[in-house]
Structure 1
């Protein structure tokens, strides 16, 4: 039985602009067989609520918490112009799960961690 694996590389800069001539060029052409272009999270607003719920479940379990986001807090996350991508959303949810002193994360708590 063999093992299967793959590599996914994500960057917000076009890799071809940052690679120097030499071994990196060989790596670039080996990795650039099937480029996957994902629009930024701010352009995929419909994905934010399910991602928030997924990350909430993950971090509530990990930290033994019972944090929930109010609908208004999720709406605020949806209108935020995410400069990063899903990882930034995940980090925000994790931070709110860890730092919220109350079980319900509302708009005020979200505004404390995101620069609006």
Structure 2
């Protein structure tokens, strides 16, 4: 596994990933956070923050004509992370929010159309 990046390197890589994804007008960016226990039992846990483009190289089952064939993916999966100590969390999250807000302006909002359920929607409408 690749070593963790410094905070500045993480933010520049995240900005590049968000820009690249919004320029392609296709793709996803996955952000995750996980507490990491410290060796000192009294100290609060640090947080590891990860970012990836989710590019697994797995074939798309919905693509036509490719049934049963594994397509070679020319681009590799982008993964990077950083560890944030408890003392640096507030400053880190402030900058993290700024980078995410500026990078996500070109992304499309997910279409969330609600479909009425056949049984549940009709029963509630009559009651």
Establish whether TM, by shorter chain, passes 0.5. no
Category of TM-score, reference length = shorter chain: under 0.3
TM-score normalised to the size of structure 2?
0.23
Q: Which has the higher contact order (CA 8 A, sep 6+)?
A: 2
State the structure with more CA Rg: 2
- As a proportion of its length, which structure holds more strand? 2
